[in-house]
Amino acid sequence: MGFKKIGKKIQLAREAKGLTQSDLADKLAITQAALSNYELGKRRLYLHQIQKFAEILDKHLSYFIDDENIDRHSGTGPNTGESKILLSNEEIMSRICSLNREEIQLLSEFLDFLEWRKNDND
Amino acid sequence: MIELSDNQKKWIDAAKKFSIKQKTALCAHRSDDKISRARLLFSLCCEERFQGLLVPEAYGGSSLDYTTAGLIFEELGYGALSAMPSLLATVHCMEFINIAGTVEQKKEIFTEVIANSIPLGFGLTETSAGSDITQITCRAEKTDSEYILNGTKAIVLNSHIAGIFLIIARLTSGQGRAGLNAFLVRSFRSGIELSPPYNGLGFSETVIGEVGLTDVRIPHTSIIGDEGSGYFLLMETFDKCKPFVAACCVGAAQRVFDIILEYTKSREQLGSTLFSFQGISFKLADFAAKIRAAKLLYLEALMRIDAHSSFTMESSIAKLYASETLREISEFGLEVLGYRGVLEDNPVRDIFEDAQLLISIDGSSNIQRMIIASQL
């Protein structure tokens, strides 16, 4: 239903701001358990709640509600050459988090390979 | 035990009286066309101020809490189910505006609906976009001075009597969910075309039809909420209004229950009343429990909304359970009543037909199950 993606974006924005779940929950005057449910996409979020997240996490509303994994307001977008090559840390994290256990294993092996190749070239 | 306040008793009493009043009025206008009867029914609702139950007093409404409004809808579901689809459509639109409208929009629209008894039409569904509203293709193009709307809305309740439509359209700049927005569109706008009303099963006193929009030009002030917010506002509107649909279903289910009970206790076959057969009485015992449970579920959802607690799952549970219970009991009612049940003007027949459609308002049962599952 799309709320898992928004929850993940909340988690990434919170972590980027260096806040724990308890810190953010306090700022929102909700319980840490409730925030955890939002981040896991287990609770539907309404617009006024997303607006509050955006305000506290210094993000534009569109960062949360746009379907794409881009930050329109960071200056990079899907149609720029730069964005196709340079992904933001948040997007990388978001994409990793959407992988299953087997895919993470494959990714890990690929990273090992890249590391090996880099060391070999050095 | 649910203790009603004096104010709640007063409103429920008004709903009871309205049920008799609307029945008499519809009988008197039996030969009128469907559109005239629908207008009449809505204006009778407005005389009792049912269209503005939740609207703040500052805008001419009754400023009731959600729970009290639910109790009123239950009573209306019992005695005046045929008036409900039109009223619910207007209430949905009003709730949407209440959530995200500007002060000016609220003043303008609420005044029209409450003071001038103007019904609203909810233009959401399209031929290829029902449960999956992200498939909506109706487009809104933003120019320097206005929005230009193009598309066709299907299954619009109040299509031919609405003074204002709430149209969900996709802004050309937005994609997927984020492209959806809500616009207020006056029905007299150039470019609006109404197809002849549908003539289907159920909701017999409600005008339902297609609304075509061709280059309909509306000012920038017509958008409700920020650009890109339509999807989220729709979800909140549905989640807040589902318990009202559930309440109507509970009322209607109770009506069918009372009819079956009275009939089975008075009709004798094989030397005893129908009720004395466990095949009947046990079934009614089950329905007595289900209707009670359905009532508690919708009340829980509404009390949570009033208390600003989470209510997503509770609303879906209430709607799912109440609408399915209504469908079951109305089917059982027809089975028990036999041919009497399908005769014209038999309330069980009308409720049975309406029950099939109430299932799909605010999302079908499977959509409710998807929402509930997502919250587990």
Does residue A61 belong to the interface with chain B, where contact is any CB pair within 8 Å? yes
Q: Which residue has the higher pLDDT, A99 or A75?
A: A99
Residue A87 is predicted with a pLDDT of 58
Interchain contact B177–A (C-beta under 8 A): yes
Chain-centre distance of CA B251, in angstroms?
13
Which SS3 state, helix, strand or coil, does residue B101 take? coil
- Residue B165 pairs with which residues in a beta bridge? B121, B185
B137–A contact, CB cutoff 8 A: no
What pLDDT is stored for residue A72 in this prediction?
43
Could you give the C-alpha distances from B11 to B4, B14, B64, B330, B346, in angstroms and in order?
11, 5, 10, 27, 27
**Chain B residues near residue A29 by CB distance under 8 angstroms:** none
CB count in 10 Å sphere of residue B212: 16
For residues A65 and A19, the model is more confident at A19
Residue A91 pLDDT: 66
Average pLDDT (A51-62) is 90
- pLDDT at residue number A122: 64
pLDDT of A85 reads 40
Q: Residue B224 corresponds to which amino acid?
A: I
* Chain A residues with CB-CB distance to B239 below 8 A: 44, 46
Summarize chain A as % helix, strand, coil (round to 5). 70, 0, 30
Half-sphere exposure of B345 (CA within 13 A, CB side): 4
For residue B178, what pLDDT is reported? Answer: 78
Does A20 score more than 60 pLDDT? yes
Contact call for A47 and B225, based on CB within 8 A: yes
Distance from A103 to chain B by nearest Cα, in Å? 24
| CA nearest to B133 within chain A | A1
- Spans in chain B with pLDDT lower than 50: none
Question: Are residues A65 and B229, on separate chains, in Cβ contact within 8 Å?
Answer: yes
Q: Does A68 contact B175 at a Cβ distance shorter than 8 Å?
A: yes
Q: How many CB atoms lie within 10 A of CB B261?
A: 17
ipTM above 0.85, yes or no: no
Across the interface, of A43, A48, A50, the residue whose CB is closest to B310 is A43
**How many CB atoms sit inside 10 A of residue A114's CB?**
9
Span of A64-68, A87-91, B89-93, B227-231 with lowest mean pLDDT: A87-91
Q: Which of B176, B235, B371 sits opposite A46 (nearest CB)?
A: B235
**In the prediction, which pLDDT does A67 show?**
67
Q: Are B242 and B318 in contact (CB under 8 A)?
A: yes
Distance of CA B231 to the CA centre of its chain: 19
Q: Is the pLDDT of residue A35 over 80?
A: yes
Distance between CA atoms of B107 and B114, rounded to whole angstroms? Answer: 10
List the single residue in B232, B370, B376 with the smallest CB-CB distance to A46. Answer: B232
Inter-residue long-range contacts of B308-311, CB under 8 Å, 24+ positions, other chains counted: B310/A34, B310/A43, B311/B239, B311/B240
pLDDT at B127: 85
Count CB-CB contacts under 10 A for residue A62: 19
